[in-house]
Amino acid sequence: MFRLAVRSKSSNNYLKSSLIRYSSSSSASKLTADKYNVKRGNYSTINDDDLKEFNSILSSNQIITDSNDLIGFNQDWMKKYIGQSKLVLKPKTTDQISKILSYCNKRKLAIVPQGGNTGLVGGSVPVFDEIIISLSNLNKIRSFDEMSGILKLDSGVILENADNFLSEKGNIFPLDLGAKGSCFVGGNVATNAGGLRLLKYGSLHGSVLGLEVVLPDGTILDSMHSLRKDNTGYDLKQLFIGSEGSLGIITGVSILCPARPKSVNIAFLGLNSYESVKKCFQTARSDLSEILSAFEFMDHDSQLLAAKNLNSIHPLCQEDKIGIDSVPNYPFYVLIETSGSTKEHDDEKLEKFLEKVMENETVIDGTVSQDEAQLKTLWTWRESIAEASQQFGGVYKYDVSLPLDSMYSLVEAVQKRLNDLNLSSTTDNSKPVYEAVGYGHIGDGNLHLNVAVREYSKDVEKALEPFVYEFVAKHHGSISAEHGLGFQKKNYISYSKSEVEIKMIKDLKDHYDPNHILNPYKYI
Amino acid sequence: MLTKIKILVPVKRVIDAALKPRINKTKTGIESKGVKYSINPFDDIAVEEACKMRKSHKDLIESIHAVSIGSLKAKEVLRTALAKGVDTSSLVDVGDEEVEPLVVSKILKSFVEREGSNLVVLGKQAIDDDSNQVGQMLAGLLGWSQATNAAKVTIGNDGTVEVEREIDGGVEIVKAPLPMVITTDLRLNEPKFVTLPKMMKAKKKPLEVVKPQDLNIELTKKLETISLEEPASRKAGVIVNNVDELISKLKELKAL
C-alpha cells in the first residue's frame, strides 16, 4: 500500500544548530554561572570515592564522564543556559535513584534531575558542577487498565511513546505539546506542563492520580495506588506537580487517560483584529462547547517566522507562492481543534459555527483539514513557531497568563519598547533583536511572547526584564503560565506570589531538602 | 481555432492515507468501522491539476466534471472537488459494494460519452486496493491515447498535450493530441487547502446522484478475495555495545 511519508524536519534542525554552536568560538564566557554572576553553593565536589560509590550502584554504561558526551546534558535546547557538570548518572530503577540520593545527601553533593531536557527556563541543566541524574533509562510503561483508563508508567517514558501506546488502546494522553517527541512524562509532571489539550482535559493537577517520588534523603514516597477519589489526609502528590525537581525526583506516574476522540477536525482561520480573535473565541466556546479541544492564536509575524523556517506554502495561500511570500496579510490567525465521538455531529457543529463567524465577518478567511495529512500540516503552522523563533540565533521566551483583554497588548508594548530603544530590526543585522512575536492558548488565557534575537545580550535582557514581569503584575497575570520558574524566573516569583506563599514554599523546601541538594540556584 | 477541452475527473473516497489500515476479523477486507476516510491523494492531485489547467488556459477549458463511485458518503469528496474549482459532479451510488476496475472503467466511459469529455485526469491508483488499472482500461475501452504517471502536463498551442513521466533512470516525455487519458503521479503538484468561502459556494454547485442501472451497467464480479493477510512482522534488531561485538555478530550471521 502506498503511504505518504511524514517529514521529520525538527530533529534535523536541532542537530544542525547544535553542531554550529560548537564550531563557533566566542571570547565571552557563555556559562550560565558567569553570564548571570552566580556564586557556587557550599557543596562538596566529586572525588574518586564518590565515583567508586556510584560504580557500585550502577553499571559502567550508566555513568557518563566523557567531556564530549556531557555537552548535550549541560545545555538546554535554546542554548541559553550552559552548565559545567562532570558527571551524568543514568539509573534504571527507583531503587538505584534512592541509593544515589541518600548518598549525595550525606555527602552534600548537588543534583539536577533531567528528563527530555526540553524545558524553556533553564530548569533541567546544571549551573555549576551538579550531578545530572538523567531519567532516560527509566522508560517502561508499567500497566494500563482499560476499564478505568488509568495508566501507570516510569517517569522517563517519552510523551509521544505514551500517547502512541494509548492510541492503540483507544485512549489518549491528557497532555500534548510541541516537544512531545523528546519530553518525558516525569518532566511534564514535575513542571506541571500545560500544552495544547488543557482546554479540554484540564491540568495535570487533576489528571495525575498518584506519583512515585524519591525524596532528597532517599526515602521513596509511593502513592501509585491510584484512586480517583481519596479524601484521606493531605494530597501530597500535588506538592511535586510543578515543583521542578526541587523537592524530589519523580520516578513513576499514575495518570487518568480519557477515551481517544474518534473524530478530530482542525480549522485554520484568518482574522482582522485581536478584537475578532476574542469574539471568535466567545462564539467557539458557546457554539462548539464540549467538542472544542484547542483554541490557539498566532499573530502575523509569528506566521512569517514559521514560513521562513518551514519554507512551504501557508495553508491560507491560494497562489503559487512559497515561504514568507505565501503568508496572507491577516494580522491574526486562529487554529481551532474539535474532538468528539461522532463525525457527523462534529462536522455539522463546526460547519454551522464557521458559517456564523464568516457571515458576521469575525473571520475573513479560513480552511478546514480534509484529511490526516492536512490536519498535521495545520498544526505545524502553530507548533513550529517555537522552533522558528530561534532560527536567527536565539530566543527570549516569556510564557505568561493574562486576562484576555490585555493579553496582546503585552506584545505590542514590548515591540514598541524594543523599537524605542533601537534594538530591533528584521533587516538590519547589526541589531540584536529580529522581532517580537505573540501566540498562544487563548482558551487558557496563556500568551507566549517570543523575542527572536540574533544573539543573547545584556541590553536586550535589560530591556525585557523586569519590564515584562511588571506589565504582567500590573495586569494581575502570572509570570509563568506553564513553562515554570527554573533558572530564568527564580528572582521574579514575587511578581506572582505573595510573601506568605513564598515563605511556605521555602519552609517546605527547607524541611524536605535541608541540605538544598536538589536542583539548586533555581525555582525560589 | 482549437477544440474546447472538457475535463472529467474521477475521485475515490478511501481510508485516509496517513492511517494504518487493519484487516477485519473475517479476513475478507479492510476494517472500515470507526476509520477516517478522505479523498484518494492521487485523485486530489488530479483535481488540483484540472483546476490549474483552467487557471492557465481560461478560454480553452470549457468544463470540469467530477465523478465518484461509492456510497452516499462519497458526497464529501465531491464537495471538496467542487470547492477546489470543479463545476459539476455526479455520484454513482453503489452502496458499500466493492467495484472492480473494469466495471469502474465502464462507468467512467459512460460519463465520458454523456458529458462529451475529451480529457480524463485521474489518480494513477487508489491507495486502498492499489490496482493501478482504471486509467489504462478506460483508455483501452475508449480507444484514446494514454499518458500514465504524469509528473508534468503541458497543453500545447497546437492542441496536443505533452506529459513528462518519471521513469527509472530519467524522465520520459510523451505527446499526443486530444482526446486523452492522463493518470497523475505524486510529484505533479501539491494540492492546496480549500478555503471556507469556496467551500460555502460549493454547496450550491450541482451534485447529482445516479444508480448504476441508470447507466445500464451491471456490477459484475470477476475476482474473488480468498483471504487477506498482514505481512509477517520484522524481527527486532539487536543492540551491540562495541565494534568488536558488531563484527563478531556479522560473522556469526555470515554477513562478513
Convert the pLDDT of each residue in A175-186 to its tens digit: 998 889 999 999
Nearest to A374 among B21, B193, B195 (CB): B193
What is the model's pLDDT at position A227? 81
Return the CATH fold of A10-134: 3.30.43
Q: How confident is the model at residue A487 (pLDDT cuts 50, 70, 90)?
A: very high
Q: How confident is the model at residue A444 (pLDDT cuts 50, 70, 90)?
A: confident
Convert the pLDDT of each residue in A384-398 to its tens digit: 998 899 999 999 999
B17 touches chain A (CB under 8 A): yes
Q: Is the pLDDT of residue A22 over 80?
A: no
Q: Is the pLDDT of residue A25 over 50?
A: no
A316 touches chain B (CB under 8 A): yes
Q: How far is B125 from chain A (nearest CA, A)?
A: 9
What is the model's pLDDT at position A18? 39
CA within 13 Å, CB half, A211: 29
Nearest to A372 among B16, B190, B200 (CB): B16
Alpha helices in A198-265, H assignment, sequence order = 198-201, 204-207, 237-240
Nearest to B127 among A2, A366, A370 (CB): A2
Q: SS3 of A166, please?
A: helix
Q: What is the arrangement of strands in the sheet containing B145-155, beginning at the earlier edge strand?
A: B170-177, B160-167, B145-155, B180-184, B119-123, B5-10, B61-70, B88-93, B207-210
Task: Over range A453-465, report the average pLDDT.
Answer: 92
What is the model's pLDDT at position A230? 83
Q: Is the pLDDT of residue B188 over 90?
A: yes
A19 touches chain B (CB under 8 A): no
Mean pLDDT (chain A) is 91
Three-class HEC string of chain B: CCCCEEEEEECCEEECCCCCCCECCCCCCECCCCCCEEECHHHHHHHHHHHHHHHHCCCCEEEEEEEEEECHHHHHHHHHHHHHCCCEEEEEECCCCCCCHHHHHHHHHHHHHHHCCCEEEEECCCCCCCCCCHHHHHHHHHCCEEEEEEEEEEECCCCEEEEEEEECCEEEEEEEECCEEEEECHHHCCCCCCEHHHHHHHCCCCEEEECHHHHCCCCCCCCCCCCCCCCCCCCCCCCCCCHHHHHHHHHHCCCC
DSSP string, A51-69: HHHHHHHS-GGGEE--HHH
Q: Cell 556559562, residue?
A: A31
- A373 chain-B contacts, CB cut-off 8 A: 16-18, 41
Q: Is the pLDDT of residue A73 over 60?
A: yes
Q: How far apart are the first and last CA of chain A?
A: 55
Q: How far apart are the first and last CA of chain B?
A: 69
- A358 chain-B contacts, CB cut-off 8 A: 196-197, 200
Three-class HEC string of A443-475: HHCEEEEEEEECCCCHHHHHHHCCHHHHHHHHC
Domain ranges of chain A: 10-134, 141-256, 263-376, 389-483
Which of B39, B78, B185, B196 is the best residue to mutate to test the A interface, defined by the most A CB atoms within 10 Å of its own CB? Answer: B196
Q: Cell 508499567, residue?
A: A142
Question: Cβ separation of A373 and B18 shorter than 8 Å?
Answer: yes
- A365 chain-B contacts, CB cut-off 8 A: 195-197
Question: Cβ separation of B193 and A355 shorter than 8 Å?
Answer: no
Q: How far is A2 from chain B (nearest CA, A)?
A: 6
**Distance, CA of B97 to chain centre:** 18
Q: How confident is the model at residue B156 (pLDDT cuts 50, 70, 90)?
A: confident
Domains A263-376 and A389-483 alike in fold: yes
Q: Is the pLDDT of residue A246 over 70?
A: yes
Q: Is the pLDDT of residue A218 over 70?
A: yes
Which of A169, A348, A371 is the best residue to mutate to test the B interface, defined by the most B CB atoms within 10 Å of its own CB? Answer: A371
Mean pLDDT (chain B) is 92
CATH annotation of A263-376: 3.30.70.2190
Question: Cβ separation of B192 and A354 shorter than 8 Å?
Answer: no
DSSP letter at A176 equals -
What is the model's pLDDT at position A28? 59
Contact between A225 and A145 under an 8 Å Cβ cutoff? The reply is no
Task: Over range A277-297, report the average pLDDT.
Answer: 95
Q: Is the pLDDT of residue A197 over 90?
A: no
- Please report the residues numbered 164 through 203 in chain B whose beta carbons come closer than 8 angstroms to any beta carbon of chain A: 190, 192-197, 199-200
DSSP letter at A6 equals P
Integer Cα distance of A299 and A305 in angstroms:
10
Task: Over range B160-183, report the average pLDDT.
Answer: 94
The residue among A433, A429, A403 whose CA lies nearest residue A416 is A433
What is the model's pLDDT at position A78? 81
Which cell goes with A116? 527530555
Integer Cα distance of B110 and A427 in angstroms:
60
Contact between A403 and A471 under an 8 Å Cβ cutoff? The reply is no
Q: Is the pLDDT of residue A11 over 70?
A: no
Integer Cα distance of B93 and B95 in angstroms:
6
Geometric angle at alpha carbon B138, from B101 and B5, rounded to 5°: 135
Question: Cβ separation of B196 and A363 shorter than 8 Å?
Answer: yes
- A268 chain-B contacts, CB cut-off 8 A: 193
Number of Cβ pairs < 8 A linking chain A and chain B: 72
Q: Is the pLDDT of residue B227 over 90?
A: no
B23 touches chain A (CB under 8 A): no
Domain ranges of chain B: 5-252
Q: How far is A344 from chain B (nearest CA, A)?
A: 11
The residue among A242, A149, A127, A225 whose CA lies nearest residue A493 is A242
Q: Where are the beta strands (DSSP E) in A248-378?
A: 249-256, 263-271, 292-299, 332-340, 365-368
Q: Is the pLDDT of residue B237 over 90?
A: no
Which cell goes with A149? 483508563
CATH annotation of A141-256: 3.30.465.10
The pLDDT > 90 percentage for chain B reads: 71
Neighbours of A346 (CB within 10 A): 20
Q: Name the amino acid, one letter, at A262.
A: K
Angle in degrees, 0-180, between the axes of helices B41-56 and B75-84, rounded to the nearest 10: 30
pTM of this structure: 0.83
A220 touches chain B (CB under 8 A): no
The residue among A299, A360, A368 whose CA lies nearest residue A336 is A368
Question: Cβ separation of A318 and B16 shorter than 8 Å?
Answer: no
**Distance, CA of B227 to chain centre:** 25
CATH annotation of B5-252: 3.40.50.620
Q: Name the amino acid, one letter, at A77.
A: W
Q: SS3 of A520, please?
A: coil
What is the model's pLDDT at position A13? 41
What is the model's pLDDT at position B1? 47
What is the model's pLDDT at position A27? 43
- B18 chain-A contacts, CB cut-off 8 A: 3-4, 6, 371-373, 376
Nearest to A371 among B18, B130, B200 (CB): B18
Question: Cβ separation of B38 and A370 shorter than 8 Å?
Answer: yes
**B92-to-A326, B75, B107 alpha-carbon distances in Å:** 38, 10, 9
Check residue A23 and give left, alpha or beta (phi > 0: left; psi -120 to 50: alpha): alpha
Who's near A231: CB < 8 A, 6+ residues apart?
Answer: none
Q: What is the arrangement of strands in the sheet containing A111-114, beginning at the earlier edge strand?
A: A63-64, A88-89, A131-134, A111-114
Q: Is the pLDDT of residue A19 over 80?
A: no
Integer Cα distance of B193 and B181 in angstroms:
26
What is the model's pLDDT at position A328? 95
The residue among A69, A76, A66, A78 whose CA lies nearest residue A115 is A76
Contact between B17 and A373 under an 8 Å Cβ cutoff? The reply is yes
What is the model's pLDDT at position B158? 80
Q: Name the amino acid, one letter, at B205.
A: K
**B29-to-A169, B24, B221, B224, B230 alpha-carbon distances in Å:** 22, 6, 15, 11, 11
Which CATH number, 3.30.70.2740, 3.40.50.10490, 3.30.70.270, 1.10.10.60, labels domain A389-483?
3.30.70.2740
Question: Cβ separation of B130 and A1 shorter than 8 Å?
Answer: yes
Nearest to B38 among A366, A367, A371 (CB): A371
Q: SS3 of A26, please?
A: coil
Q: Is the pLDDT of residue A259 over 70?
A: yes
**A386-to-A395, A410, A484, B117 alpha-carbon distances in Å:** 9, 18, 16, 50
Question: Cβ separation of B41 and A373 shorter than 8 Å?
Answer: yes
User: Which run of H or of E encompasses A328?
Assistant: none
The pLDDT > 90 percentage for chain A reads: 80
A364 touches chain B (CB under 8 A): no
Which cell goes with A214? 524519591
The pLDDT > 70 percentage for chain B reads: 99
What is the model's pLDDT at position B225? 85
B241 touches chain A (CB under 8 A): yes
B231 touches chain A (CB under 8 A): no
The residue of chain B with its CA nearest to that of A376 is B18
Q: Is the pLDDT of residue B149 over 80?
A: yes
Convert the pLDDT of each residue in A48-70 to its tens digit: 999 999 999 999 999 999 999 99
Q: How far is A364 from chain B (nearest CA, A)?
A: 9
- Please report the residues numbered 150 through 189 in chain A whose beta carbons come closer than 8 angstroms to any beta carbon of chain B: none
